[in-house]
Each structure stands twice: as structure tokens, then as C-alpha cells.
Structure 1
Amino acid sequence: MSTIWLKILPYIVALLLVACALFGAYHHGVSVTNETWQSQWNARDTRDAQAKAENEAAARVREQAYQQSINKAVQDGQRTIDQATADASAARASADGLRGAADSLAARLANSQASSNSCTATSRAAATRDAALLADVLKRADQRAGDLAAVADQARARGLTCEQAYDSITNIELHLFPNSSK
């Protein structure tokens, strides 16, 4: 039996060498394939990181442009509101003069009634009451109109500010980022 083993031993050794060589070739192929895939994954990860950085930079640029346009709209709107407030103050001052004139007219009518004769006193008393009532209605109507005008002016200014902010953001989207979808 030992002679049979001696005869087949070179064949077994040759088979083992071939098996080891095949296993080594297989292992080398797997290593090369893994290295290839790993380098491709690393390249993909690098591209993803670069794309992320570019997208973040573009988002920062967009955000800064939005903020600048909104800040400008707010400043313009505040100037408009301040102007409306100043106009309302000027109108109130003018209206105060009108109210004072109505009060002095009512007072003159009341004083003229006291100095007149009794025949016309009754008719003058009625006219004085009517004039005082008219002066009071005029003062109240003018005061309310001034208040409503001030509110309307401020509401208009705020609406225009909002519209300007929206338009500026829309223009940023159209001009800076023409390929972006909303």
C-alpha cells in the first residue's frame, strides 16, 4: 500500500498545488473587485459630498438674496408707513383748526342770541342749537374720517410692503435660479 501512495502522492500534491493556485487566483480576483467597488463608492461619496456642499452654498445665496429683498421691502414699507403717519398728524392738525372754527362759530351764535331782542330770540335759539349740533356732528365726522384714513393708509402701506416682498422673491427666483422649480 505504501507504493500506491507513493505513486499517487505526486498527483495529490499537484492537485493541491492547482487548488491552492485556483484559490489564490480567486482570492486575488475578489480583492481586486472589492478594491474597484470601494474606489467607485468612495468616488460616489466624494461626488455626493461635493453636490451637497454646492447645494448648501446655493441655498445660502438664495436665502441671503431673499433676506436682502425682504429687508429692503420692510425698509421701504416702514418709510411709507412713517409718511402716512406724518400725513395723518398733519391732517389732524388741520382738522383741529377746522374743529376750532366750528366751535367758535357755535360760540358766536350763542353770544349773538343773548344780545338780540326777544322777537327773534326764539328763532335764533333754534338756529344756535342747530349750528351747535352741526358743529358737533362735523367735528365727530372729521375725527372719525381722520382715524379711518390713518388706518387705511397704514393698511395700504403694509399691503404694498407685502406685495413688494413677494415680487422681489419671485424676481430672485426668476433671475438668479431660472431652472429651479417651485
Structure 2
Amino acid sequence: MTTYLKSGAVLLLIAMVLGALFGAYHHGVTVTDEKWQSEWSARDTRDAEAMALNEAAERTKEQAYQQSINKAVQDGQQIIDQATADAATARASADSLRGAADNLARRLAASEASGHSCTAATSQAAARTAAVLADVFKRADQRAGDLAAIADQARTRGLTCQQAYISLEESNGLQDTLP
């Protein structure tokens, strides 16, 4: 029985040593896991902070882009409004010029009716020619005014687009890379 007790005590001692070793191993694994978990959490926190800073910087850039585009559009609209007002002024001036051409044609027609019979045919032809020329002048002037207004608006819109593009280039630092 003493051998059984000795072997039981040895087994108990071995079990206790193995239990202590397992406990030490388990404690080491737990400490290592906690250390890595702490480092991962710190890294995740740094990543989240960097992402938030990057997002804020990109939003600031985007707002600056949008403000420069809005300013270019406002400036362009002011130029278009001014061109429209100038076109209206030019139209009013052209209307008075057309009125003068109409008056001249009417005077020629009136002088034809009161003239002598031998010069009546000549003055009638001159009056018709003047009326036709006055009508051609009016139509040409009106069309030229319409085309000028269209050209002014197209040019202004192109300049507005160009200014918006230049603003974006300056915001991105690309102005030195383009020809």
C-alpha cells in the first residue's frame, strides 16, 4: 500500500505541477491576448481619428471648390445681365434708327405723290427702292442685334466656365502643370 500511496502522491504531485503549468500557460495567453487587444484597439482608434481628419479636410476642399464655382457663376450671371441690358439699350437705339429709315421712306413716298408727272415715275422708283432698302436695313439690324446678344451670352458662359475651371486648378495646385 505504501507503493500505491507513493505512486498516488507522485501522480497527485504531477497533476498539481501540470495544473500549475497549465495555469501559468493560460495566464500568459490571457495577458498576451489582452496586450494585443489593447494594441488593436489603439490602432483602430488612430485609424478612426485619421479617417475623420481626412474626411474633414476633403469636405473643406469640396466646399472651397463649390464656393469658387458659385462665385464664377455669380460673376458670369452679372455679366450676362449687363450684356442683356446693353442689348436692350442697343435695341432701343436701333429702333429709333429704324424709325428714321421709315420716316425717310414715307417722305420719299409723299414727295412722289406731290411731284410733277414727268418726274413721278423716277421718284416713284426711288421711293420704292428707299422703302425696300429701309426694310432690308431694319431686318439686317434686328438680326445683327439678335446674333450679338447670342454671341455675348455664349462668350460670357464660356468665360464663366473657364473661370470655374481655373479656380479648381488653383485650389488643386495644378496651374503650373498646364500649358
- Fold similarity call, TM over 0.5: yes
CA–CA distance in 2 between the matches of 1:30 and 1:121? 124
Match of 2:69 in 1: 70
Report how many aligned residue pairs link the two structures: 174
Q: Give 3-state SS (helix, strand or coil) of 1:119's partner.
A: helix
Match of 1:86 in 2: 85
CA–CA distance in 1 between the matches of 2:87 and 2:35? 76
Match of 1:172 in 2: 171
CA–CA distance in 1 between the matches of 2:6 and 2:54? 72
C-alpha RMSD of the superposition? 1.2
CA–CA distance in 1 between the matches of 2:159 and 2:20? 82
1:89 CA displacement = 0.9
Match of 2:144 in 1: 145
The one-letter code matched in structure 2 to 1:36 is K
Instruction: Write the mapping of 1:22-41 to structure 2, written as runs, cut at 5 A.
Output: 22-41=21-40
CA–CA distance in 2 between the matches of 1:89 and 1:109? 30
1:4 CA displacement = 2.9
Match of 1:158 in 2: 157
The one-letter code matched in structure 2 to 1:146 is G
Instruction: Write the mapping of 1:99-114 to structure 2, written as runs, cut at 5 A.
Output: 99-114=98-113
CA–CA distance in 2 between the matches of 1:101 and 1:167? 47
What's the TM-score, normalizing by structure 1?
A: 0.91
1:3 CA displacement = 3.3
Q: Give 3-state SS (helix, strand or coil) of 1:83's partner.
A: helix
Runs of 4+ in 1 over 2 A off after TM superposition: none
CA–CA distance in 1 between the matches of 2:117 and 2:31? 126
1:151 CA displacement = 1.1
The one-letter code matched in structure 1 to 2:63 is Q
Q: Give 3-state SS (helix, strand or coil) of 1:114's partner.
A: helix
1:127 CA displacement = 1.5
Q: Deviations over 1:71-112 (max 9, x none)?
A: 211121111111101110111011011101110010011001
CA–CA distance in 1 between the matches of 2:6 and 2:75? 104
Q: Give 3-state SS (helix, strand or coil) of 1:45's partner.
A: helix
The one-letter code matched in structure 2 to 1:98 is L
1:125 CA displacement = 1.4
- List alignment gaps of at least 5 residues for structure 2: 175-179
Match of 2:11 in 1: 12
CA–CA distance in 2 between the matches of 1:110 and 1:14? 139
The one-letter code matched in structure 1 to 2:42 is A
Match of 1:96 in 2: 95
Q: Give 3-state SS (helix, strand or coil) of 1:120's partner.
A: helix
